[in-house]
Structure 1
Amino acid sequence: MSQIHAMSDDQVATELRKMTAFIRQEALEKAREIHLKADEEFSIEKSKLVRSETQRIDTEYEKKFTQAGMSQQITKSTLANKQRLRVLSARQELLDGLFEDTNKKLADTAGKDKGKYEEVLKNLILEGLYALNEKKVSVRCRKKDDEAVKKARDTAKEEYKKNMKGKEVEIVVDEKERLPEGSSGGVYILNGTGKIDINNTFEERLKLLETDALPYVRTTLFGENENRKFKD
């Protein structure tokens, strides 16, 4: 028969201390494990937040940088257009002034050199005769040009007959309807019915010259490269 020995109080206390120490150690290990896990999760979340915020900042910076670049381009383009318009406006003023001065000089020439003016009138009338190719035409002019136009008419009539192999043409100087006295000169030629007309006044010829010769005038004044630079 085995003998059961009862544990003494000291032995019980010792066992309790062991059990308490074990439980405490387990608790410490568990607490340390939880702490490490919490630190790891905190680091992961912190990294995520840092990356997310960094990406947000980068995106915002890129957006603002792009907006700033576009704003700069718009400003440069606006300034360039304003400068271009100022240059074009100044050039147009110069060209307008040039043709205005030319118109005044045409009027002066018509009044100063009668022989040269009559030659010009003859050629203007001849041009109308060839274009209309009719038996009768009328010519309008300034009242003060009556004498010069009649002389030019007679010369033009003979030259026309000669060049057209004897074809006659009647040229009537219209004394009822006149060109304005403020006109620079020239003539207005109409066919027999008055339905077809040729405007050979100096003002009209200058307008044609302004249209046809403008590219050459611009090149002469401003240069080919500048014209290409500011071409519309």
Structure 2
Amino acid sequence: MALTDADVQKQIKHMMAFIEQEAKEKVEEIEAKADEEFNIEKGRLVQTQRVKMMEYFEKKEKQIEQHKKIQMSNLRNQARLKVLKARDDMIVDLLNVARQRLAEIAKNPATYSKLLEGLLLQGFYQLLEPKVIIRCRQQDVEVIQAALHKIIPVYKEAVKRNIDVKIDPERHLPSNICGGVELYNDNGKIKVSNTLESRLELIAHQMMPEIREKLFGPNPNRKFMD
């Protein structure tokens, strides 16, 4: 039975509707797949950026923590240096007070004369030279001459040898020092400094650990004790 034009048109419309439906479903499938791929890619990008941001902020946090540690270390060092400076200033002030008290010794003739005798005799024993040159304050020349008359016989008796002692007439010690003497061998190459200031410095150096402990207490970082 032959198809009429109406039947052909009907079949064509039916086929077109089927094709359109297939195309629509395919489009929907493609769109759904595209949306799925888009969401997957978006999630991947979001996760990648999240990881990058976490790494960035973690790095920044470490940098800030490191910077804070450095600042704290610098502040501690500055505070420690200030403490050390204050302690050193206190010791300097203490030594200055000691020097002021040394100056009072020379104002007592009996005490100062006895002290000079000991300083001179000690210098002779240190030098053990046949000829000794003495330098002193100009105002101490007479008291030293008197002291020499007493100690030279003592020295000769102790070492069993003679000694020729002269006071340098041209080169005196500064008048503003506390007192004491400097002793030289004949050519001036060997020197014994027995000024009151030099003796104070020597004693201060030897006793500095004890002085610091008396003023500031034991050092917690000190591992060995004498």
TM-score range, shorter chain: 0.7 to 0.9
* Residues 76-155 of structure 1 aligned to structure 2 (within 5 Å): 76-112=72-108, 114-155=109-150
Three-state SS of the structure 2 residue aligned to 1:111 is: coil
Q: Which residue of 2 aligns with 1:200?
A: 194
Question: In the TM superposition, what is the alpha-carbon distance from 1:14 to its structure 2 partner?
Answer: 4.0
Question: In the TM superposition, what is the alpha-carbon distance from 1:75 to its structure 2 partner?
Answer: 1.8
Amino acid in structure 2 at the alignment position of 1:87: V
2:151 to 127, 147, 156: 156
1:113-163 residue CA offsets vs partner (Å, 9 max, x unmatched): x33322321221122212221222122212222233223222321221222
Three-state SS of the structure 2 residue aligned to 1:225 is: coil
- Whole-Å separation in 2 of the counterparts to 1:227 and 1:198: 36
Question: In the TM superposition, what is the alpha-carbon distance from 1:60 to its structure 2 partner?
Answer: 1.8
- Whole-Å separation in 1 of the counterparts to 2:188 and 2:74: 53
Percent identical residues: 38
Amino acid in structure 1 at the alignment position of 2:142: E
Question: In the TM superposition, what is the alpha-carbon distance from 1:31 to its structure 2 partner?
Answer: 1.1
Question: In the TM superposition, what is the alpha-carbon distance from 1:35 to its structure 2 partner?
Answer: 1.1
Question: In the TM superposition, what is the alpha-carbon distance from 1:206 to its structure 2 partner?
Answer: 2.0
State yes or no: 1:66 paired with 2:65: no
- Whole-Å separation in 2 of the counterparts to 1:134 and 1:175: 20
Amino acid in structure 1 at the alignment position of 2:23: A
- Whole-Å separation in 2 of the counterparts to 1:84 and 1:150: 52
1:29-67 residue CA offsets vs partner (Å, 9 max, x unmatched): 211210121011101210121012102211221122122
Three-state SS of the structure 1 residue aligned to 2:192 is: strand
1:35 to 27, 31, 38: 31
Three-state SS of the structure 2 residue aligned to 1:49 is: helix
Question: In the TM superposition, what is the alpha-carbon distance from 1:173 to its structure 2 partner?
Answer: 2.7
Aligned-CA RMSD value: 2.0
- Whole-Å separation in 2 of the counterparts to 1:193 and 1:225: 46
- Whole-Å separation in 2 of the counterparts to 1:121 and 1:227: 41
> Runs of at least 4 residues of structure 1 off by over 6 A?
none
- Whole-Å separation in 2 of the counterparts to 1:152 and 1:227: 48
Amino acid in structure 2 at the alignment position of 1:200: N
What TM-score do the two structures reach when normalised by structure 1?
0.86
Q: 1:215 to 1:191 in 2, by over 3 A?
A: same
CA contact (8 A) 1:218 1:227 kept: no
Gaps of 5+ in 2: none
Three-state SS of the structure 2 residue aligned to 1:137 is: strand
Question: In the TM superposition, what is the alpha-carbon distance from 1:9 to its structure 2 partner?
Answer: 4.4
Amino acid in structure 2 at the alignment position of 1:179: L
2:214 to 215, 220, 230: 220
Gaps of 5+ in 1: none
Question: In the TM superposition, what is the alpha-carbon distance from 1:96 to its structure 2 partner?
Answer: 0.9
- Whole-Å separation in 2 of the counterparts to 1:131 and 1:43: 98
